Amino acid sequence: MSTEKWQATQEIVASALEYRSKFDLPQWKKFIAENIRSSPSEQIAHKCPITSRNFFKPRGYAGDAIVLDLLYGIELDKYGVDKLGYDACEVYRHNCAQPAARAVRFRRKLLAEYIDAACEQRIGMASVLSVACGHLRETVWSESLRKRNFETFVALDQDEGSLKVVARDYGDLGITTVKNSVLDLLKARSGIEGQTFDLVYAAGLYDYLDNDVAKSLTALLFGKLRQDGKLLIANFLPGIPDVGYMEAYMDWWLIYRSAEELLACAPENSNARTFTDPDMNIVFMEMTKTPG
């Protein structure tokens, strides 16, 4: 990327963060409406396919599985990245290099490691549930998934379009897709009642859930674990450097949680522990079902 373009995009990100820190939420929203919408800086930012897709929300919400593919660098030609003009490509590449983007790529690899660990512990017998699976791209990094070293793998999401991609790309590995929402899960009408799992995980979901739903869902998912089973949940941390840009230019408003706030969602006796990605943008909470 040319230094000039990189700096211009960097300045947009930095000034968004600076303005955000000066205002309370209503003032920040007013500032965005009056100063960012239809501004020259917004026109530059929206050249990036991640930014414009989140902003225009063709699936009705920001952060869909295609946005994640764009961040992971998957099927870029299909999404037209190879045909982007020079400026658009520069802004896109800049955004892919930001800490939040690095953090979601770290998260994807971590999920694959958890899947492999669960499958290696119970060779050929492991049962895994991915909640809000998106396109389930961690499959690419998981040897156990690719080698079908599991008994059951359930990929659940509310988005039918994403599940079709999972079925198309990974259906022959024996993965079962389930179209359902968190609400369906909480109302016990998800179609997976009675099933238990060695690993349950949710990445890119809790950032959309309020505290009450997050707490209820964590208790429900923890209840689905077998003995020694693990539940892994991810959430973006407050104060990430990209938050100003995400809110102002992508209209992407996540619910950020500290490690303590995420731990407050854990059931008692769930042996919860937390850790972060190297950039400290995402907090992970791992819970383990132990006897007694």
Ligand X SMILES: C[S@@+](CC[C@H](N)C(=O)[O-])C[C@H]1O[C@@H](n2cnc3c(N)ncnc32)[C@H](O)[C@@H]1O
Determine, following the binding rule CB under 6 A, whether residue 157 of this chain makes contact with ligand X.
yes
Q: Please report, as a single letter, which amino acid is at residue 24.
A: D
Determine, following the binding rule CB under 6 A, whether residue 247 of this chain makes contact with ligand X.
no
Determine, following the binding rule CB under 6 A, whether residue 205 of this chain makes contact with ligand X.
yes
Q: How far apart are CA 59 and CA 65, in angstroms?
A: 10
180 sits in the region (left: phi over 0; alpha: psi -120 to 50; else beta) called beta
Q: How far apart are CA 7 and CA 40, in angstroms?
A: 16
Whether 87 contacts 43, CB under 8 Å: no
Going by their DSSP bridges, the two strands 197-202 and 175-179 should be labelled as unpaired
Determine, following the binding rule CB under 6 A, whether residue 175 of this chain makes contact with ligand X.
no
Range 119-138, binding ligand X (CB under 6 A):
132-134, 137
Alpha helices in 194-275 (DSSP H): 211-223, 243-250, 259-263
Q: Cβ closer to ligand X: 181 or 288?
A: 181
**What is the number of other CB atoms lying within 10 angstroms of the CB of residue 86?**
10
Determine, following the binding rule CB under 6 A, whether residue 232 of this chain makes contact with ligand X.
no
Determine, following the binding rule CB under 6 A, whether residue 159 of this chain makes contact with ligand X.
yes
Stretch of 48-56, 142-150, 158-166, 264-272 lying at the interface with ligand X (CB under 6 A): 158-166
Report in angstroms how near the CB of residue 209 gets to ligand X at its nearest. Answer: 7
Query: Which of 15, 121, 158, 196 is the binder for ligand X (CB under 6 A)?
Result: 158
Query: Which of 15, 152, 181, 196 is the binder for ligand X (CB under 6 A)?
Result: 181
Q: How far apart are CA 277 and CA 256, in angstroms?
A: 15
Per the structure block, which two tokens stand in for 165? 């991609």
Report in angstroms how near the CB of residue 13 gets to ligand X at its nearest. Answer: 20
Q: Cβ closer to ligand X: 278 or 291?
A: 278
Stretch of 28-36, 38-46, 90-98, 157-165 lying at the interface with ligand X (CB under 6 A): 157-165
Q: Cβ closer to ligand X: 5 or 215?
A: 215
Determine, following the binding rule CB under 6 A, whether residue 203 of this chain makes contact with ligand X.
yes
77 to 13, 74, 105, 183, 252: CA distances (angstroms): 26, 9, 19, 35, 24
Coil, strand or helix at 213 = helix
Range 65-124, binding ligand X (CB under 6 A):
65, 68
Residues of the shown chain interacting with ligand X in the complex, contacts defined by CB under 6 A: 63-65, 68, 132-134, 137, 157-159, 162, 181-182, 203-205, 208
